[in-house]
């Protein structure tokens, strides 16, 4: 008897896997109706992952956006689903129990039906509360198997993982093939094993198309019993996102599956609107290479969901390293060569770092270390010179148990730095914060929001929320859009001049003034100041303190070698920068919040 198979449109992930930003509330509401009119969807991925943080960075209130976005689907009975990161909830680092519980309650009330929960290390301790809190909130609990390919990550490994999650009470299992490197045959065997253990458990397949396996994988898992397949749509299908609806629909239909047909006119309307959003300004943040498939990703295993941010980081690193090469009278390198070196470095360091599945946030951690290692290698320096605190927490067991054993290089470095390993439940390390945050918001005269949804955003993304509230986020976005739109002019112009441009966002016109100056000056006024210069090891935004209560270094202070003297926010993590010298701070060469490149002078110590 023919089997029915259902489809889910991963509209949120389409954007996150392509670039930095995603549509605003008005755009999402506009595209919702034709999505519904296509008639083929049982589920829509509406939120989760980077959705909240990205909306805040764009100066939007994610709570208002989400309520408007889920409403049309709720009204017609199409299930909405979100992606959440277990211990990290919707953040990049561990979150307290009270915040995690509030998140599920809020998201259900905002119109989200299904909580797709994953742990980047496949540590079920980090998913236990997600399952409990999702079901308590009235949501469907779906737990992920984060797919990667190594000698440790076997078919039996994943089947046993699924069994444990089912025993914990999860309602569904997701095969989360975030890098698209799961081999079709192996994925089919995993699905068969799950269905053999529990024939009634729903299995949903999510596979990125990057290396090219996902179409074959979609067919194979369907044949082996999967119930729902995630797909994308033009103009944001393929590349680092997901296989296109048209292709997956046709192969499943041809193989004899019962599958809902779709309205082609509505498909074209969704495609047209999505292209309209790209042309508006969102396309400025989509690297063209993310629209391509790349079989080199098979070996590195870098996930599609972070490729948008990766290419953005790589572009900055490319500018930075070429700046250094020119200064040192060496030949520049192409971004393709830099990308190839990064893939090789990820392949090398991944086993040494304990084989963490390369999914958020651990893919970012491995990638960040790899980029710094590559940059240092070009400069003739050693590996492992800069590892941020979040990455160390992963290596030390504070985020969960790593699948593999750490390499000697990391063990020796941890011993040298006096790092201590942790084996207990990672959740025990995070104290409840909601009551403290309530008081802080009331002190600022900020409304806690409907169902305390504003309190949730403040607790999950404090820095971004503050920038949203004071208008800094919108201002930064507008200035950045203006800068990107004028990039071609910047290349052509060689003299400084001030220009003005009108930028329209959300039907509001903003006048932006910017300066054009294409002359690159590698000589710094700090070069004439005598003393030991502390250089930035990485590009990013530099801050004297990461917390307002923290005492900042100032001119005249004495520092010792090894003291933390500032922080650089780069590639979604905070890096503590330590002094290489002991002495008196005679000059601070940046303003708080400045964007800097590696090898820029930070301090002069005498």
HEC states along 281-345? Answer: CHHHHECHHHHCCCCCHHHHCCCHHHHHHHHHHHHHHHHHHHHHHHHCCCCCCCHHHHHHHHHHH
* Cα Rg, the chain, nearest whole Å: 24
Question: What contacts 517, CB < 8 A, 6 or more positions away?
Answer: 493, 495, 496
Q: Which residue did the predictor score with more confidence, 442 or 572? A: 442
SS3 93: coil
For 560, counting Cβ atoms within 10 Å of its Cβ (0-12 exposed, 13-18 middle, 19+ buried), the class is exposed
Give the total number of structural domains in the chain. Answer: 2
| Sign of the dihedral defined by the CA atoms of residues 167, 169, 170, 172, in that order | positive
Identify the domain containing residue 440 by its residue range: 434-516
Same domain, 568 and 530: yes
252-256, 374-378, 506-510: range with lowest mean pLDDT: 506-510
Same domain, 537 and 563: yes
Q: Is the Cβ–Cβ distance between 214 and 243 less than 8 Å?
A: yes
pLDDT of 455 above 50? yes
Same domain, 555 and 573: yes
Average per-residue pLDDT for the chain: 89
Q: What is the DSSP string of 144-182?
A: EEE---SSS--HHHHHHHHHHHHHTT-SEEEEEETTS-S
Q: Which residue did the predictor score with more confidence, 247 or 367? A: 247
Same domain, 505 and 534: no
Q: Give the pLDDT confidence score for residue 514 in this predicted structure.
A: 45
Q: Which residue did the predictor score with more confidence, 161 or 595? A: 161
Same domain, 501 and 566: no
Q: How confident is the model at residue 572 (pLDDT cuts 50, 70, 90)?
A: low
Q: Are strands 140-146 and 172-177 parallel, antiparallel or unpaired?
A: parallel
Q: How confident is the model at residue 597 (pLDDT cuts 50, 70, 90)?
A: confident
Q: Give the pLDDT confidence score for residue 201 in this predicted structure.
A: 98
Last residue of a domain, one of 499, 516, 533: 516
How many Å apart are CA 217 and CA 385, to the nearest integer? Answer: 39
Last residue of a domain, one of 473, 490, 516: 516
Q: Give the pLDDT confidence score for residue 522 in this predicted structure.
A: 39
Top mean pLDDT of 295-299, 473-477, 516-520 is at: 473-477
Q: Give the pLDDT confidence score for residue 415 in this predicted structure.
A: 94
* Torsion angle of the four alpha carbons 552, 556, 562, 564, in this order, in degrees rounded to the nearest 10: 10
16-30, 117-131, 457-471, 473-487: range with lowest mean pLDDT: 473-487
Same domain, 535 and 507: no
- Chain-centroid distance, C-alpha 531: 40
Q: How confident is the model at residue 273 (pLDDT cuts 50, 70, 90)?
A: very high
Q: Which of 324, 224, 275, 284 is nearest to 31 (CA)?
A: 275
SS3 247: helix
Q: Give the pLDDT confidence score for residue 207 in this predicted structure.
A: 95
Q: Give the pLDDT confidence score for residue 499 in this predicted structure.
A: 52
Residue 20 within a domain? no
Residue 523 pairs with which residues in a beta bridge? none
Top mean pLDDT of 218-232, 472-486, 578-592 is at: 218-232
Residue 221 within a domain? no
Residue 455 φ/ψ, nearest 5 degrees: -60, -40
pLDDT of 360 above 80? no
Residue range 174-192: mean pLDDT, rounded:
95
How many Å apart are CA 94 and CA 317, to the nearest integer? Answer: 28
Q: Give the pLDDT confidence score for residue 300 in this predicted structure.
A: 65
Using CA atoms, how far residue 173 sits from 113, 116, 209, in Å, is 15, 9, 20
How many Å apart are CA 285 and CA 484, to the nearest integer? Answer: 9
Residue 461 within a domain? yes
How many Å apart are CA 344 and CA 341, to the nearest integer? Answer: 5
Same domain, 561 and 544: yes
Using CA atoms, how far residue 12 sits from 9, 72, 230, 570, in Å, is 9, 16, 12, 24
Residue 55 within a domain? no
Q: At what angle do helices 97-109 and 434-443 cross, to 10 degrees?
A: 70
How many Å apart are CA 526 and CA 524, to the nearest integer? Answer: 5
Residue 377 neighbours by CB distance under 10 Å? 13
CATH number of the domain residue 594 falls in: 2.40.50.100
pLDDT of 129 above 60? yes
Q: How confident is the model at residue 492 (pLDDT cuts 50, 70, 90)?
A: very low
Q: Give the pLDDT confidence score for residue 536 in this predicted structure.
A: 87
Residue 592 within a domain? yes
Residue range 461-472: mean pLDDT, rounded:
93
User: What are the helix (H) ranges across 210-302?
Assistant: 214-223, 245-254, 264-280, 297-300
Q: Is the Cβ–Cβ distance between 476 and 482 less than 8 Å?
A: no
Residue 590 within a domain? yes
pLDDT of 83 above 70? yes
Burial 177-202 (b: 16+ CB within 10 A, else e): bbbbbbbbebbbbbbbbbbeeeeebb
Q: Which of 431, 462, 430 is nearest to 446 (CA)?
A: 462
For 249, counting Cβ atoms within 10 Å of its Cβ (0-12 exposed, 13-18 middle, 19+ buried), the class is buried
Q: Give the pLDDT confidence score for residue 438 in this predicted structure.
A: 97
Using CA atoms, how far residue 208 sits from 88, 303, 605, in Å, is 22, 8, 49
Q: Which of 499, 502, 507 is nearest to 478 (CA)?
A: 502
Residue 553 within a domain? yes
- Chain-centroid distance, C-alpha 589: 31
Model pTM above 0.75? yes
SS3 471: coil
Last residue of a domain, one of 481, 516, 551: 516
Residue 496 φ/ψ, nearest 5 degrees: -80, 140
Residue 574 within a domain? yes
């Amino acid at each position: 008897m023919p089997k029915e198979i259902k489809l889910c449109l991963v509209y949120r992930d389409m954007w996150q896997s392509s670039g930095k930003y995603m549509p605003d509330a008005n755009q999402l509401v506009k595209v919702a109706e034709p999505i519904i009119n296509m008639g083929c969807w049982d589920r829509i991925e509406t939120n989760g992952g980077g959705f909240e943080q990205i909306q805040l960075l764009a100066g939007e209130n994610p709570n208002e956006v989400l309520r408007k976005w889920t409403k049309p689907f709720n009204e017609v009975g199409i299930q909405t689903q979100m992606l959440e990161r277990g211990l990290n909830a919707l953040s990049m680092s561990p979150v307290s129990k009270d915040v995690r519980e509030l998140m599920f309650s809020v998201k259900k009330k905002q119109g989200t039906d299904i909580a797709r929960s994953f742990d980047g290390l496949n540590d079920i301790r980090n998913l236990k509360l997600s399952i409990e809190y999702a079901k308590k909130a009235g949501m469907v609990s779906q737990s992920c198997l984060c797919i990667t390919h190594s000698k440790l990550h076997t078919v039996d490994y994943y089947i046993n993982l699924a069994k444990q999650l089912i025993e914990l009470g999860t309602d569904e299992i997701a095969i989360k093939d975030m890098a698209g490197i799961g081999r079709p045959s192996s994925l089919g065997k995993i699905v068969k094993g799950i269905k053999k253990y529990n024939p009634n458990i729903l299995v949903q397949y999510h596979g990125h198309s990057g290396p090219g396996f996902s179409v074959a994988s979609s067919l194979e898992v369907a044949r082996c019993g999967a119930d729902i397949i995630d797909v994308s749509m033009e103009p944001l299908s393929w590349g680092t996102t997901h296989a296109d609806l048209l292709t997956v629909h046709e192969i499943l239909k041809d193989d004899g599956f019962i599958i809902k047909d779709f309205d082609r006119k509505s498909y074209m309307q969704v495609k047209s609107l999505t292209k309209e959003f790209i042309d508006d300004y969102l396309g400025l943040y989509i690297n063209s290479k993310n629209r391509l498939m790349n079989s080199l990703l098979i070996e590195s295993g870098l996930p599609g969901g972070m490729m948008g941010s990766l290419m953005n980081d790589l572009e900055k690193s490319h500018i930075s390293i070429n700046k250094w090469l020119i200064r040192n009278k060496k030949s520049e390198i192409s971004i393709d060569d830099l990308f190839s070196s990064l893939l090789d470095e990820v392949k090398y360091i991944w086993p040494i770092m304990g084989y963490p599945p390369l999914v958020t946030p651990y893919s970012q951690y491995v990638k960040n270390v790899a980029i710094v290692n590559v940059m240092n290698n070009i400069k003739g320096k050693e590996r492992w010179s800069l590892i941020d605190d979040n990455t160390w927490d992963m290596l030390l067991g504070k985020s969960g148990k790593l699948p593999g054993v750490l390499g000697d290089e990391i063990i020796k470095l941890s011993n040298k730095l006096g790092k201590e390993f942790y084996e207990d439940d990672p959740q025990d390390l995070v104290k409840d914060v909601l009551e403290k945050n309530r008081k802080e918001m009331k002190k600022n005269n900020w409304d806690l929001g409907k169902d305390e949804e504003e309190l949730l955003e403040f607790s999950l993304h404090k820095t971004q929320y503050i920038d949203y509230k004071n208008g800094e986020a919108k201002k930064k976005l507008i200035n950045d859009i203006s800068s990107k739109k004028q990039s071609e002019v910047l290349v052509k112009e060689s003299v400084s001049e001030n220009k003005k441009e009108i930028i329209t966002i959300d039907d509001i016109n903003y006048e932006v003034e910017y300066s054009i100056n294409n002359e690159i000056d590698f000589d710094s006024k700090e070069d004439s100041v005598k003393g030991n210069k502390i250089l930035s090891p990485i590009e990013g935004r530099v801050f004297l303190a990461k917390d307002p209560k923290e005492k900042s270094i100032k001119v005249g202070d004495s520092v010792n070698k090894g003291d933390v003297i500032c922080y650089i926010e780069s590639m979604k993590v905070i890096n503590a920068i330590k002094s290489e010298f002991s002495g008196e701070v005679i000059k601070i060469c940046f303003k708080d919040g400045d964007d800097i490149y590696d090898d820029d002078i930070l301090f002069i110590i005498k």
